[in-house]
Amino acid sequence: MAQTPGPDGWTMPVAAGPPEFLPILDIPEPGRQRRLTVLFRWLLLVPQAIVLWVLSVVAFFAAVIGWFAALVTTELPGPIARYLTGYLGYDTRVTAGGTLLIDRYPPFSLHQPPDFPVLVQVRPGRLNRLAVFFRLILLIPAAVINSLLGTGWLVLCFFIWLLVLVLGRLPRPVFEATAAFVRYRFRFNAYLLMLTSAYPKYLFGEEPPGPGEQAPVSATRPLVLSALGKALLVAYLVLGLAGHVSADFAESGNDSNKTVNTAPAP
Q: Summarize pLDDT for 62-87 with one digit per residue, the tens.
A: 999 999 999 999 999 999 999 999 99
pLDDT at 164: 97
pLDDT of residue 187: 97
Cβ density class 173-209: b for 16+ within 10 Å, e for less: bbbbbbbbbbbbbbbbbbbbbbbbbeebeebbbeeee
Which stretches of the chain drop beneath a pLDDT of 70?
1-19, 253-266
3-state secondary structure (DSSP) of residue 3: strand
pLDDT (0 to 100) of residue 204: 96
Which residues is 202 bridged to in the sheet? none
Task: Give the residue from 101, 67, 104 showing the smallest Cα distance to 84.
Answer: 67
| Cβ neighbours around 94 below 10 Å, total | 19
pLDDT of residue 18: 55
Q: Which pLDDT does position 253 carry in this prediction?
A: 66
255-266: burial string, b at 16+ Cβ within 10 Å, e else: eeeeeeeeeeee
pLDDT at 216: 86
Whole-prediction pTM: 0.88
Return the pLDDT at 209: 83
